[in-house]
Structure 1
Amino acid sequence: MPQAVTIAAPGLQALILCGPGSSFPTFTANPDENPKALLPIANRPMVWYPLDFCYRAGITNITLVCPPTASEAINTALNTNPFLTTLPYPRPDLLTPKDLDQNTGTAEILRLPELQERVKSDFLVLPCDLVCELGPDKLITAWQVKAASLRDLMSRTQTSEDDQHQEQRSGGLSVYYPTKLANPVKGEETDLLVAARLPSSSGLPPKGSIFPEIAQVVTSMPKDTLKDVLDRENAYHLSDSLLKKHPRLRFVSDYRDAHIYIFPQWVMQFVKENEHLETIGEDVIGRWAKAGYKQGLAKKLKFDKILQKGNQSQQDDGGASKPIDVPPLLAYVQPLEINGPIIRRVDNAQLLLQVSLQLAKQPSVEEAGSVEAAPSYAHQRKIAYPEGVKPRTSITKGDSLLADNVTVQEKSSIKESVIGTNCQIGEGAKLFQCLLMDGVVVGKNCKLTKCILGKRSDIGEGCVLTDCEVQENLLVEPKTEAKEEKFMSSSGLEATDKDFDTEGDDGEDDESDDDGEDDDDSNDE
């Protein structure tokens, strides 16, 4: 259940972007009927977690953004799923822009007319795959104190047309978290963050604040982009203008952009004016950060027009144009704490399994004694339907979750696993570090290790599966033995020569289209 609201955030809107889930091919083969936002993380729909984040922040103006083709499935879940129907009121709005499809970039989404019309104030952007235990009040307070100007904060309560012509100098805030701290997943995406320390404050930060972990972003890019730069130039160059403005820099690797963004309203005009920006994480954040020190880039990105500062055309005493005052882009860089709050994006199957198992280890509300004493994402009980568990079974309650109407037959063993609603576990079955979605049937004497089973899949008797994924509604034949296999309805179909030729053509197109960011920026010096 959602935790108590810790802060009121008047004027802030939230946009939750519900993507296609292309990194879950086994479970989102049909993203219109099975959108990524509804995949279960520890038995709750994925989108429940960013919604809970918003309600904990006191934000009630929440918009879920998804392609029109996925709207029916998400709307049905909002009206029927018990975790989503019990969320506080008002309920989130579902926005389905007509030109939004599964390939639209995140910055391109903000440029769509429906989004331009919807955002009327400062706003949060969240991915649908976010799990974040960190109190949103801490992030919002850090943004208000460190990035938002007093004048801009005060202007939110005014409604006159003159407000549109006032200077807006509020900056933004992003979040980065370590990927190698707990339950590392091989091959997880990471980013390069180069940050500068903020000027030290004369007083001590408030107790429990995250102020010491706030820094100014000067460069942010995915490691894949960095690799392309290194392959092309054999080095990563720091410009003289950067070192002159920020002589002391912090390089952060093995961290990842959480895609939590707190933005002032002017960012909507920023993406509208710069149509070449495709994504928020790489393009908007990357360009904005560099505009703070790269000569000419701020003007190229039209910051003078966007910020509507009347003094841009003024001259200083030397006759030169005054530099554009680019608002700060800040980042919360989560410290390396073993027992720190969970911040994680869950955008592939391995992360889906690992984060679900991590959350399953949290004490339940029943064990903690009250909602207030329980962890952020605690379930009411570890075994929701104990009547369905037969005698002579072994279930490790400390690290497992069993949802409603789960039946477990005798001599079964369940360790470190998450079992969805209406699942049936046959006699003598053994499950270790598995994730079962709703309605799965596991036959007698099966042995499953580190498997993810799609909803209503059926595992025949005597199967031995390790590190496997099974698509929804799929039957795995009895006595099947497999390791690191994805069972899908198209399994066994052979590719034709034409398929191989097509794949080769696509690969050549992708490889040739490598217009690195640094190449573009070199013209701005």
Structure 2
Amino acid sequence: MDLDESSAKLIPPEFLAVVLAGFGNELLPLTGNYGDEPSPKALLPIANKPMLEYPLVWLEQSGIKDVLLICPTSHRAALSNYIQSDSSASFPSLQIDLQTFEESQDLSVGTGALLRHFAHRIKQDFVLLPCDFVPPPTLSLTQILNKFRTESTYDGAIATAFFYEGRRPDKGSSTDEWGLVPTPTPIVWDERSETLLHIDTPDDADRNSEDLELRMSLLSKYPRVKLSATFMDSHVYACRRQFDSIREEFIPWLCKPQYQRTKLEKYGRVLNPVTNALTQELALKHSTLHSKAPVHLQHKDEFLHSPPSDDQNQEHTKSLVLDEDEEEARIPASLRMSLVVHRAQEGYAARANNLHAYLDLNRHFLSQQTYSLPTDSDSRAKIDQKAQISSDSMVGHSTRVEERTSIKKSVIGNHCVIGKMVKIAGCVIQDHCVIADGAKLDGCILGKGTKVGGKAELSKCVTQCGYEIGIGETTRNEKLDISDWTAGRGSSEEEDQSEEEASSEESDD
């Protein structure tokens, strides 16, 4: 009998990982369709690796095996191919259950609605992750899970949230035409107990955009709270076994039972049922660090106002001891929202949920790499010896680079063709792009299959997959998508047709 195999069958998995891969409207036009094919956000490359690979590898390193990956129906084929391809060698032990939901790019579904829809597949504690989170190398997911394990068992905490200290992109690296750089949401937290107490919601901001409104009960229970406007929500939560939005409704609501007595009484049994976690009552009772439950005030009043006789004193003392034991036996769940905070100096973490962050993440990995050129001989042979490629750049496999081309601080994807005397600086160029001779690109993000004509100049532009830029065109600070390009083409064709009709009419006359 194989003991290891039988043990694995008897012990159910402790955590299920739920990974959400949406459309990524904040990354348009990169996530716009490539012809009839979708461009899934989860497969957009960061340093020539699909962004989905970063959270999946993080999960595997923590020992989690079961993953529920949720994506739009139109993305299923592309994600399925990726999971079953050779790329899955980076996370071989994961068992990924790919599930889809009906959603259009114009109408998104909230996180809470997705969790409710797939509740029948979530049968244990779970950790929720977005597909766009790139974790810091110095922080393992195990540390967050251990925090949740300890505090949910010790004092009945109901969830653990992970916030990281963000950094603003380098000045001048992008442009406001790409959209505003998201600002951190103010949070109130208690550093000593590592408890999240308040997050400003959109409703709070609409009601009072100038001030932060806090209840006196919060300040009474936690008199030394901290207000921070530098931490970003990673959208990584370890939760017990649901609201339209996790970030905007569920987590802020979960903060309130910690200090609002009415909500604690109303929802305590729902959030912390008796069978929900192992009890630590005996350990708490004998712990030297655990403060005993207070004696009932009415007993103290009786003792002060009517001193008992010796017999009464013995009876009363006995009842007090029993009351204290009963109180200790019924230690209430804290329903705390536990918090893990990651400082910027401890390692870079970010979400690629907007164009600014996407560019910054790619540039970050350029500073961490050792080799800028592909290692296989066939790919190296496609790079001309007279091409100048800086050590802080990255060139993908099977990419051709012609002579006297200069590449600095840029990520070049796989199977690209870059002509002669091309200058590329601070760019991210995805797979299968073609850049003709003499073109100049500065601070751009080119979607998959983009074609740039000879001597064209682009500065801080983002293109949709398959976009074509004409010979000699100059464009700055633009988001270029196919609809604009085809509209331009259509209008020029109509003008040509009208000119031909006019000339034919003149000839008839």
Kindly provide the amino acid, as one letter, of the partner of residue 350 in structure 2: R
- Contact 2:435–2:452 under 8 Å retained in 1: yes
Superposed, 1:57-96 pairs within 5 Å as 57-80=62-85, 82-96=86-100
**Match of residue 122 from structure 2:** 119
2:336 aligned with 1:349 = no
1:380 and 1:426 mapped to 2: Cα distance?
Answer: 18
**Match of residue 394 from structure 2:** 401
Deviation at 1:381, TM superposition (A): 5.4
**Match of residue 52 from structure 1:** 57
**Match of residue 218 from structure 1:** 197
Query: For 2:368, what is the secondary structure of its paired residue?
Result: coil
**Match of residue 18 from structure 1:** 21
Query: For 2:113, what is the secondary structure of its paired residue?
Result: helix
Runs of 4+ with deviation above 4 angstroms: 97-102, 181-186, 316-319, 321-324, 379-384
2:272 corresponds to which of 307, 312, 331: 307
- Contact 1:12–1:122 under 8 Å retained in 2: yes
Deviation at 1:43, TM superposition (A): 0.8
2:428 corresponds to which of 422, 435, 443: 435
Query: For 1:411, what is the secondary structure of its paired residue?
Result: coil
Deviation at 1:326, TM superposition (A): 4.1
Distance 1:189 1:109, change over 3 A: farther
Deviation at 1:25, TM superposition (A): 1.9
Superposed, 1:120-199 pairs within 5 Å as 120-133=123-136, 134-145=139-150, 147-149=151-153, 169-180=156-167, 183=170, 187-199=181-193
Kindly provide the amino acid, as one letter, of the partner of residue 367 in structure 2: K
Kindly provide the amino acid, as one letter, of the partner of residue 418 in structure 1: V
Distance 1:59 1:424, change over 3 A: same
Query: For 1:96, what is the secondary structure of its paired residue?
Result: strand
2:251 corresponds to which of 281, 285, 302: 285
Larger Rg: 2
Distance 1:22 1:188, change over 3 A: same
Sequence identity of aligned pairs in percent?
25
- Contact 1:427–1:444 under 8 Å retained in 2: yes
Q: Where do 5+ consecutive residues of structure 2 fail to align? A: 1-11, 175-179, 276-294, 299-326, 489-509
1:90 and 1:228 mapped to 2: Cα distance?
Answer: 43
Report the TM-score, using the length of structure 1 for normalisation: 0.73
Distance 1:97 1:448, change over 3 A: closer
Query: For 2:129, what is the secondary structure of its paired residue?
Result: strand
Q: Where do 5+ consecutive residues of structure 1 fail to align? A: 1-8, 151-167, 200-214, 266-270, 272-276, 311-315, 368-378, 495-525
**Match of residue 466 from structure 1:** 459
Query: For 1:244, what is the secondary structure of its paired residue?
Result: helix
* Stretch moving more, 118-127 or 458-467: 118-127
Superposed, 1:424-503 pairs within 5 Å as 424-491=417-484, 493=487
Could you give the per-residue CA deviations for residues 258-314 of structure 1, whole angstroms, max 9, x where no partner exists?
Answer: 01111122xxxxx2xxxxx211112111000112112323455x342342349xxxx
Query: For 2:261, what is the secondary structure of its paired residue?
Result: coil
2:163 and 2:111 mapped to 1: Cα distance?
Answer: 18
Could you give the per-residue CA deviations for residues 234-257 of structure 1, whole angstroms, max 9, x where no partner exists?
Answer: 532221111111011011102210
- Contact 1:79–1:85 under 8 Å retained in 2: no
**Match of residue 313 from structure 2:** none
- Contact 2:57–2:90 under 8 Å retained in 1: no
2:103 and 2:440 mapped to 1: Cα distance?
Answer: 46
Deviation at 1:117, TM superposition (A): 1.4
Deviation at 1:98, TM superposition (A): 5.8
Could you give the per-residue CA deviations for residues 371-420 of structure 1, whole angstroms, max 9, x where no partner exists?
Answer: xxxxxxxx9859993222101111112x2111110111000000010011
The two structures, once aligned, show a CA RMSD in angstroms of 3.0
2:244 aligned with 1:240 = no
1:430 and 1:242 mapped to 2: Cα distance?
Answer: 57
Could you give the per-residue CA deviations for residues 422-446 of structure 1, whole angstroms, max 9, x where no partner exists?
Answer: 0111100010010011100011111
2:207 corresponds to which of 216, 229, 235: 229
Could you give the per-residue CA deviations for residues 349-384 of structure 1, whole angstroms, max 9, x where no partner exists?
Answer: 2211110111122133x69xxxxxxxxxxx985999
Deviation at 1:194, TM superposition (A): 0.4
- Contact 1:181–1:336 under 8 Å retained in 2: no
1:259 and 1:394 mapped to 2: Cα distance?
Answer: 41
Report the TM-score, using the length of structure 2 for normalisation: 0.75
1:141 and 1:383 mapped to 2: Cα distance?
Answer: 45
2:32 aligned with 1:29 = yes
